[in-house]
Amino acid sequence: MSPEVALNRISAELRPLLCSVVRNGRVGLDSTNCLRVTDLKTGCSSLTPGPCCDRFKLHIPYAGETLKWDIIFNAQHPQLPPDFIFGEDAEFLPEPSELPHLVHWDAENPESLLELVKEVLQQYHHYQCQRLRESSRLLFEYDSLLEEPSYGRNMEVYAGRKNTWTGEFSARFLLKLPVDFSNIPVYLLKDTALDPGEDVALLSVSFEDAEATQVFPKLYLSPSIEQGVVEYDAEGFTKLTLLLMWKDFCFLVHVDLPLYFPRDQPTLTFQSVYHFTNSGQLYSQVQKSYPYSPRWDGNEMAKRAKAYFKTFVPQFQEGAFANGKL
Amino acid sequence: MAEQSARMPGIVLSSLMFQHGNTDSDAEGLVFGESGFDEQLTISDSQTNHVHIQEIYNIQKHVTCPRLCTFYCSSGELKVDELQKLLSDRKQPVIGWFRLRRHSEQTMTFREKLVHHNLSHFLSNPNLLFLLLTPSAVTSSGSAHKTEFSAFIYRDRRFHNVPVLLSNLGLLEQNAYLRTTTPCASMGYSRATSKHSRRFFGADGALSEVTEVNLMNDSLQVELQKVCSAVEQSERSVETLRSEVSALRKKLRKRSEREVVTCTDEAPPPTLSCCSLLVTRTLDVNGYLVPEEVTVATEEEETMTTAACGKRLRKRRRRQI
């Protein structure tokens, strides 16, 4: 259901509240996905002239899942706060004192519903983290991440259903990687009205069993980030190829992480997109000695590598022109 | 562990459904009745002593709140004063509360759970019952509706669904539709009905509302008859006009046919000269008719012929003389 259709069917008094949700509703780490509204229904009798819908299902992206919560208003009493049905999570019962937008519900404020959803989602996150106690190993993983300030504040946890027959228990962690995207170039969009959202790199780690013997990582990049990356190893995350430009000179940089990274230094391979060698391959130069320290964090490594590129690329360009054929 | 079930008379359920059917929003209220344990002792060949314990909640009455969120606030906290007003002058104990929620799931909401906990604590009744009715339209045109109902109770840190049994609602058979009510000889029944009968029955013993409906029906019939008479008169005048139009058309058609015949084939008017009796004959001396050739002539020719005959007659007379 498109936002416009939902807004046309909702009761007039509730429309401002829903408008904020469907137009500005980005909650959680995955800000590329907006909140969606479906299954609009009414609590009025069939004789009431429309539009009078006052209850709907809200789809919320969370930790790689989509939560489907029923939100119930009353069109005849629009000043009353909404009520919730939390789908399959029947045991989830948030603490009302932690929901100030519910306790002091303001029907006149169009942002009230969106803020309340954010507060309830925060409570849901705490509820899922509590459920990790069913597995000591997963709880350990969670506590380890919590100790890292850059991850602890930017993490969503979803604990799956415990299989009553096998006792198996699964969980998923969604982490926002602390990467500095300030130097990413402006992203050109085909649809200028589309908001690409915040630049973000999310790592999803799924534990299929309680002992964490089967682990499946996935990397999600926001569109503007994906534009700058030619390809990368989506399973092992050991290879990355970037297409860069320096003073109208385009070149590829292949980054290969060794087996014992970060102890061992990654290999950088510079490759021209214009020049070929005598054997017909693209002209390239491999660099294994450049400023590096295994004690640097990811951001520092990227910053230092970028600084190295700036100093090395002129030399590489000269070599490509001198030794390569167009 | 005892099995739990809620029992409700059909009249309570139907009055709940009727009340909500006439309400333009969700509704809620309190439920009164009594709860207890029913112990059944079963003796069979295999087991000599089998005790089956049932926990039964008998719903006998309900009271609907004037509006939503009457006795609680947005966070589920109770408004004690409002609750006391609802509970005042109630002789039967509160065994639960109910909610009628259109087009929604048959499961408790977040606030309903909070209110249930708080109400259970306030009434000091850990076995408080929550009755949920969810009416919804079955067809998109709204021609058919259904009402699902269930009851919930909080036990072992979660809410359990409790089966609801409707009492005095047996199998419906064709001959179960009785045309006359069965008379009751009970003195208590007579006292109760006579106490309230004036509100429902008129002086002639018929239901007051039925009399009013019949009067309205009579007025409708009168109006309908007036309309029917007007329609009949209109139809008759239309029929008359049609027949007049038809006659006029027929006349016009005949006239136009006659005019066509006159123009194409016009016969000469009959004249005296054609009559054989009036044609001059010549007789001989013996008085016998002398045969003459008679022809049909035009008027001019007749005039000339008449003149010629006259001349010949004079000539014959002159010869005879």
Residue written as token pair 């009968």: B197
Which is more confident, B245 or B279? B245
The beta-carbon neighbor of A41 closest among B103, B108, B114 is: B103
Tell me the pLDDT band of B173, cut-offs 50, 70 and 90.
Answer: low
ipTM above 0.90, yes or no: no
Are B68 and A80 an interchain contact pair (Cβ–Cβ within 8 Å)? yes
Contact list, B23 vs chain A (CB under 8 Å):
45
Q: What mean pLDDT value characterizes chain B?
A: 79
Rg of chain B's alpha carbons, rounded to an integer? 53
Residues belonging to chain A with any Cβ–Cβ distance to chain B shorter than 8 Å: 41-46, 48, 55, 70, 72, 74-77, 80-81, 83-86, 90-91, 93-94, 96-97, 99, 102-103, 105
Contact list, B142 vs chain A (CB under 8 Å):
46
| Long-range contact set of residues A185-192: C-beta below 8 Å, sequence gap at least 24 | A185/A228, A187/A223, A187/A224, A187/A227
Which is more confident, A91 or B176? A91
CA dihedral defined by B217, B221, B222, B228, rounded to 10 degrees? 160
CA distances from B311 to B272, B284, B288 (A): 19, 17, 21
Q: Is the pLDDT of residue B58 over 80?
A: yes
Instruction: Write down the pLDDT at residue B277.
Output: 52
Contact list, B110 vs chain A (CB under 8 Å):
83-86, 93-94
Average the pLDDT over each of A26-35, A211-220, B89-98, B165-174 and give the range with the smallest value. B165-174
Q: Is the pLDDT of residue A117 over 90?
A: yes
The beta-carbon neighbor of B102 closest among A43, A81, A83 is: A43
Nearest chain B Cα distance for residue A84, angstroms? 5
Q: Is the pLDDT of residue B87 over 80?
A: yes
Contact list, A70 vs chain B (CB under 8 Å):
104-105, 109
**Among A280, A273, A285, which residue's Cα sits nearest to residue A249?**
A273
Tell me the pLDDT band of B294, cut-offs 50, 70 and 90.
Answer: very low
**Among A220, A234, A227, which residue's Cα sits nearest to residue A30?**
A220
Tell me the pLDDT band of B305, cut-offs 50, 70 and 90.
Answer: very low
Contact list, B107 vs chain A (CB under 8 Å):
85, 90
Burial A180-216 (b: 16+ CB within 10 A, else e): eeeeeeeeeeeeeeeeeeebbbbbbbbbbbbebeeee
pTM of the model: 0.67
Instruction: Write down the pLDDT at residue A17.
Output: 94
Contact list, B65 vs chain A (CB under 8 Å):
none
CA distance linking residue B186 with residue B188, whole number of Å:
5
Rounded to the nearest 5 degrees, what angle is found at the Cα of A237, between the Cα atoms of A231 and A239?
A: 50
Tell me the pLDDT band of A183, cut-offs 50, 70 and 90.
Answer: low
Are A94 and B110 an interchain contact pair (Cβ–Cβ within 8 Å)? yes
CA distances from B190 to B168, B181, B194, B195, B206 (A): 21, 14, 6, 8, 17
Are the C-beta atoms of A159 and A128 separated by less than 8 Å? Answer: yes
Residues belonging to chain B with any Cβ–Cβ distance to chain A shorter than 8 Å: 21-26, 67-69, 74-77, 101-105, 107-114, 137, 142, 158-159
Selected for mutation to probe chain A from B18, B103, B139 (highest A CB count within 10 Å) is B103
Q: Which pair of structure tokens corresponds to residue B248?
A: 């006029």
Selected for mutation to probe chain B from A39, A40, A54, A72 (highest B CB count within 10 Å) is A72
Instruction: Write down the pLDDT at residue B285.
Output: 73
Strands of the B129-137 sheet, one edge to the other = B158-162, B145-155, B129-137, B94-100, B27-42, B50-64, B3-9, B164-167
**Among B149, B205, B139, B213, which residue's Cα sits nearest to residue B13?**
B149
Nearest chain A Cα distance for residue B40, angstroms? 33
Instruction: Write down the pLDDT at residue B88.
Output: 83
What is the tens place of the pLDDT at every residue in B215-249?
787 888 888 889 999 999 999 999 999 999 999 99
CA distances from B137 to B20, B216, B246 (A): 14, 31, 57
Nearest chain B Cα distance for residue A49, angstroms? 11
For chain B, the structural domain boundaries read 3-186, 218-265
Q: Is the pLDDT of residue B319 over 60?
A: no
Are A84 and B68 an interchain contact pair (Cβ–Cβ within 8 Å)? no
Which helix (DSSP H) or strand (DSSP E) does residue B8 occupy? strand B3-9
Selected for mutation to probe chain A from B17, B65, B75, B100 (highest A CB count within 10 Å) is B75
**Among B138, B157, B159, B156, which residue's Cα sits nearest to residue B147?**
B138
The beta-carbon neighbor of B104 closest among A72, A90, A96 is: A72
CATH topology assigned to domain B3-186: Cytidine Deaminase; domain 2 (3.40.140)
Contact list, A94 vs chain B (CB under 8 Å):
110
CA distance linking residue A99 with residue B9, whole number of Å:
40
Are B104 and A103 an interchain contact pair (Cβ–Cβ within 8 Å)? no
Contact list, A91 vs chain B (CB under 8 Å):
158
The beta-carbon neighbor of A84 closest among B68, B110, B158 is: B110
Nearest chain A Cα distance for residue B28, angstroms? 13
Instruction: Write down the pLDDT at residue A218.
Output: 84
- SS3 of residue A190 by DSSP: coil
Instruction: Write down the pLDDT at residue B61.
Output: 86
CA distance linking residue B24 with residue A273, whole number of Å:
70
